[in-house]
Chain A
Amino acid sequence: MISLTRSEAKLVLKELKSWMKPEKVSSSLATFPSSAEIVSEPLGVVLVISAWNYPILLSLNPLIGAIVAGNAVVLKPSEISPATSSLLATLIHEYLDNSAIRVVEGAVAETTALLEQKWDKIMYTGNGKVGRIVMSAAAKHLTPVILELGGKCPVIIDSDINLEVATRRIVVGKWGSNNGQACIAPDYIITEKSNAPKVVESFKSTLEKFYGKDPFESKDLSRIVNSNHFARLSNMLDDEKVCDKIVHGGQRDEKHLMIAPTLIQDAPMDSLVMSDEIFGPLLPIISVDKIDESFELINSRAKPLAAYLFTSDKKLEEKFVKSISAGGLLVNDTCLHLTISSLPFGGVGDSGIGAYHGKFSFDIFSHKKAVLRRSFGGDLSARYPPYTPRKQQFLKSLLALDILGILLVLIGWTKN
C-alpha cells in the first residue's frame, strides 16, 4: 500500500505539467470568430476524511490529488487506527508545507466541528451512514462531495475455469487484503450449484497453502481492527440462519481479535451476512441453478463498488460488462483495478459518488473553467433588437449551422 501511494506520487510528478495546461477546444460557428479553452483551477481548501482500514493509502492518495490540483488540504485520519493517525500527523508536519497542508486528529467531535466549516470540496472514505451525514453537512454550504463507500462486492465463478488460479486470486483479494476489511474485497461468491463443492474444496486447499493448517499461527493475516468490529462479525456468525452453514473456519479468538477465514455455504439472503457489508474474513458462497441468474441477483441489490467475474466464456464476460452496474468491473482477478491509475476508482449508487486516482484525482479536485475569447470584430446585428423576421431567419440558420442559409440572409435573401 505504501508502494502504491509512491507509485501514484511518481505518476503525478511526471504528468502534472501536461494536466495543468489549458485544454483548447473548438468553438462553434455561432460565436465565430472566437477561441475556447478549458482551464483547470484549484477549488480552494479541501477536507479529506480518511478510513482506518488503509490509513496511509486512503489518506495520502486523496492528498496527492488535492495537492496536485493546487488546493490547500486538511486531512482527518481515522481515530480507529491511532498509531497511523499520529504518525501521519507527525510526518506531514515534518515534510509538507504547514501553511497549506494540515492534519487534524480526532474522533466524532472533531469531525463534526470540521464539517461545520465551509470547504470547497469534501472527500470522505468510509461507510454509507457517515456518508449521509457528511453530504448533509456539505449541503449547508453547497460544498461538492466525493463519497468513497463500499458495499457487497460480488464474485461470480463460472464452471470450466482454472479454479486453482481463480481461488488464489480471490483469497488474496479477500483475506490477503487486510483480512477482508477492504472496501473492494470480495464480499460473497455466486456459483452454479454443481460447481459449489469444487469451489469450496479449492478455497480450503488455497487457504491452507497460504495460511497453514492453523490460521491463528499465521503472521500473514491482519487482525480485526477492534472489539466493536469483532462483535459485529461474531453476530453475523451467531445468526441462527447461518450457524449450520459454516463449511470451513468459524473459529474465534476474542482476546487477539482473530477470526479464522470462514466459508459459509448457501446463507439465506435475509441473513445478516448477506444483507450487510461483511468487511471481515467471512465469505458466503451462494449457489444458483444457472450462472446467468447471478446477474439478476446482483442487480436486485444495491450497486457495489466492485464486481468480479471468473470465466473463460467471452459471451458471459460481455453480458457481465453490459448488465452489471458497479463502481468498477474486473474479470478474472480481484482488487487489481485499484492499482491501475488509468482507471477511475469510485462508486456508483450506494457505493459512492465521484472517482479518483491518477488524472481523475486531478480532475475531481479541480474546477474546469470554461474560457471563451472573442474580439470586437464579427458582430452580428441579428442578435440584437429591434427584432425583425429577417433576423429570426438568420438566427435559425446560424444555430442550425446552415451556412447556405446564413449567406442568403447576409446578402439580403430570405430562404424559405
Chain B
Amino acid sequence: MAAQNPSEYISHHLTNLTVKVGEGGFWTLNVDTIVMSWVLGIVGLGLIWLVAKGATAEVPGRLQSFIEMFFEFVDGTVRDVFPGSRAFLGPLALTIFTWVFMMNLMDLIPIDWVATVSHGLGAPAWKAVPSTDLNTTFAMSFSVFFLILFFSFKAKGAGGFMHELFTAPFGSNPLLWIPNLALNIIELLAKPVSLGMRLFGNMYAGELIFMLLGLLGTIASLSFGGLLAGGASGVLTWAWAVFHILIILLQAFIFMVLSVVYIAMAHEHH
C-alpha cells in the first residue's frame, strides 16, 4: 500500500462495496456489510444452535459447557435487570451479544489482509466490520427502539402510555403537557441514537486508529527513522489490538445490557 498517499489509504479502507437498487443515494445497499453480518450471524448463532439442538441434561461436553456458561451469563444479566419472563428478552440479549461480538471481532483482522483478499477477488472495496457501518448499528438500535414502544404499549396500554408521555416527569398540570411530551420524546429518541452511535463510534474510531498505525508502517524503511516508524507501527498495532479485545467484548456487552435495561424500563410504571 506504500504506493498510495495517506488520505487515499484511509478513505479507501472506509469505503463500502455498494450496489444501487433505485434512484437517489438512499437506495443503495452496502453489500459488504450485509454479507459479512449474515455470515457472522449464521456462524455465531449457528454454532450455539448446533449445541442447543443436541443439548441434554447429561454430563455436558466442553463445547456445550462453554455455550451453557455463555447462556447462564446472558440469562443472569437479564435476570438482574428484568424480573419477568425471559422467554423473549433472553434470546434477544443472546442474539445482540453474539451478533455484535462477532461483527466487532472482525476488527481484529488486519485491514490490509482484508484489502489484499478482496482486491485479489476483484472487489474494489470491502469493509469487513459491519459494526463500523452506521446502518447496522442503527438498524439494531432502532429495532430496540420499536421494541421499547411495543412493550410500553403492551405493559401500560395505549392510554396509559399516552398518559405517561404527557404527565411524566413533571406532573399532570395541563400547562406542563407540552414540556413533558417534549422531554419524553427526546428521552425516547436519545436511547436508540446513543445506543447505535456508541457502538458505531467505538468501532469506527478503533478501526481508524488501526489505519493510522498501519499508515505509520507504510513509511517504514531501512533508515533509522524508517525502522523506528516500522517498529512503532508493529508494537502499537499489537498493543491496540490487545486493548481492542476488551473493547469489542465491552461494546457487545453494553449494547446487550442497555437494550435489556431500556425494554425493562418500558415495563415500569411512573
A and B are interacting partners: no
- Interface residues in chain A, defined as those with a beta carbon under 8 Å from any beta carbon in chain B: none
